[in-house]
């Protein structure tokens, strides 16, 4: 995220302010939604959006114009929430391809522990061993234990030098936006698309996979307003989470489905704390090989991957569509600036329409249902 902000012209102070305001807006919205709806509605900053900033940075060096594009992105997200047809379109995704898309998103991340073992065996082995041991003895504490070990391993790996770049008290830096039509078209609108397709849509998918009906309008309006407001201090976009939602909406968060909102509430509190120590956290993460950070995330979502694969292949009639969705999503390719999650969803829908167009509604609910008579 910091690399993306710097790529579009942010100074070090503005990038640090961006991290701080994103932590604050993510934390506050996570707490608010958890208390209002008692659902594990997880909010996060737009990771594909940050990647887009890195890719677009060579053409945009005016951070004030980038901030104007961020505000437009937030306004478009609000519009998506206020327009009921768009809200229904985002949330009405068939379960087989929805679950397959989630599996495709999680699969590359779950491969990270394997890659880490190959590239950094001495650092990765303690993390994975602790996770395995705790998975057997105290499953709920397996991931937190792995995270603690990872922090220790990273600190030892980096030595004492990583603290020298840490700013203990990051400051908010206000940015006067400039609304440049060219930057809005080339940066703001693509940011909206990748945030919706790469984060919000998978986020609603994750929630439905675990049996939750997410209030689309409040989530989209709330995150859109927070995006526009946070942009004034350097933040690019926040949205409904996908990967972290797969952790907090799953049985690993709590066996009782009605209590999993506590996970998102506590995550919101921790986001606020992370914001206060944004400089230290950034320095620690920056000192680590990125594969180690992703490996810990991979260990955290193994259970969610199992659940999503099982759900995707549950209905025999839609297994081909589900596998097609999974393969396209897991490929990780990008086309016209839009990530594989969106294209996987589109391919799965086309497969489902093509292979199942003769079926009457509800025919897939039972494998014993008679086929529709030919007209």
3-state secondary structure of 279: helix
pLDDT of the residue at 199: 83
d(CA 370, CA 375) in angstroms, rounded, equals 15
Residue 52 lies in a domain: yes
For residue 162, what are the contacts with CB-CB under 8 A and spacing of at least 6? 155, 283, 284, 286, 287
Q: Which residue has the higher pLDDT, 92 or 122?
A: 122
d(CA 311, CA 93) in angstroms, rounded, equals 14
Residue 127 lies in a domain: no
What six digits make up the tokens of 121? 């065996």
pLDDT of the residue at 230: 96
Give the tens place of pLDDT for each residue, 286-331: 677 778 877 887 888 788 788 889 888 988 888 999 999 999 988 8
Residue 177 lies in a domain: yes
The number of distinct structural domains making up the chain is 1
Q: Nearest-CA neighbor of 190 among 85, 57, 43, 25?
A: 57
Domain ranges, residue 307: 2-111+164-288+303-356
**Cβ atoms 60, 66 nearer than 8 A:** yes
d(CA 226, CA 261) in angstroms, rounded, equals 21
Give the ranges where 138-215 is alpha helix by DSSP (H). 142-158, 181-183, 189-195, 201-209
What six digits make up the tokens of 1? 């995220």
Residue 371 lies in a domain: no
Q: Nearest-CA neighbor of 278 among 19, 30, 46?
A: 19
Q: Which residue has the higher pLDDT, 346 or 59?
A: 346
Task: Tell whether pTM > 0.75.
Answer: no
Residue 141 lies in a domain: no
* 52-66, 194-208, 290-304: segment of lowest average pLDDT: 52-66
What six digits make up the tokens of 22? 């994103």
Mean pLDDT of the chain: 83
Residue 231 lies in a domain: yes
pLDDT of the residue at 375: 34
pLDDT above 70: percentage of residues in the chain: 85
d(CA 125, CA 130) in angstroms, rounded, equals 9
Residue 63 lies in a domain: yes
Give the tens place of pLDDT for each residue, 177-192: 999 888 888 788 878 8
pLDDT above 90: percentage of residues in the chain: 30
Q: Nearest-CA neighbor of 165 among 284, 274, 273?
A: 284
What six digits make up the tokens of 301? 């979502």
Residue 374 lies in a domain: no
Give the tens place of pLDDT for each residue, 221-253: 999 999 999 999 999 999 999 878 888 888 888
């Amino acid at each position: 995220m910091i690399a993306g902000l710097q790529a579009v012209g942010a100074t070090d102070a503005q990038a640090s302010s961006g991290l701080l305001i994103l932590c604050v807006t993510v934390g506050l919205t996570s707490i608010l939604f958890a208390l209002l709806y008692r659902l594990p509605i997880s909010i996060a900053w737009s990771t594909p959006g940050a990647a887009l900033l890195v890719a677009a940075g060579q053409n945009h060096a005016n951070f004030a114009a980038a901030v104007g594009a961020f505000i437009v992105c937030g306004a478009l997200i609000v519009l998506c929430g206020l327009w009921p047809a768009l809200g229904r379109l985002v949330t009405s995704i068939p379960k087989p391809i929805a679950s397959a898309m989630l599996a495709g998103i999680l699969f590359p991340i779950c491969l990270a522990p394997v890659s880490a073992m190959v590239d950094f065996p001495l650092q990765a082995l303690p993390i994975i061993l602790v996770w395995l041991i705790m998975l057997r003895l105290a499953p709920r504490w397996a991931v937190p234990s792995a995270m603690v070990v990872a922090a220790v391993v990273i600190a030892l790996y980096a030595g004492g030098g990583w603290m020298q770049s840490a700013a203990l008290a990051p400051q908010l830096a206000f940015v006067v936006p400039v609304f440049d039509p060219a930057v809005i078209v080339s940066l703001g609108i693509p940011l909206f698309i990748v945030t919706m397709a790469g984060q919000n849509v998978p986020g609603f998918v994750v929630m439905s996979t675990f049996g939750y009906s997410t209030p689309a309008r409040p989530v989209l309006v709330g995150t859109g307003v927070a995006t526009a407001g946070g942009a004034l201090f350097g933040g690019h976009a926040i949205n409904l989470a996908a990967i972290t939602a797969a952790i907090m909406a799953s049985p690993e968060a709590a066996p009782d489905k009605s209590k999993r909102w506590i996970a998102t509430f506590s995550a919101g509190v921790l986001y606020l704390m992370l914001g206060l120590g944004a400089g230290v956290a950034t320095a620690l993460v920056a000192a680590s090989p990125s594969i180690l950070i992703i490996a810990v995330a991979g260990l955290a979502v193994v259970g969610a991957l199992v659940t999503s694969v099982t759900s995707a292949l549950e209905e025999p009639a839609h297994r081909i569509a589900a596998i097609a969705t999974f393969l396209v999503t897991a490929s990780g390719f990008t086309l016209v600036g839009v990530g594989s999650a969106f294209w996987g969803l589109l391919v799965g829908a086309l497969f489902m329409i093509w292979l199942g167009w003769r079926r009457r509604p509800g025919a897939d609910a039972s494998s014993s249902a008679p086929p529709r008579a030919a007209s």
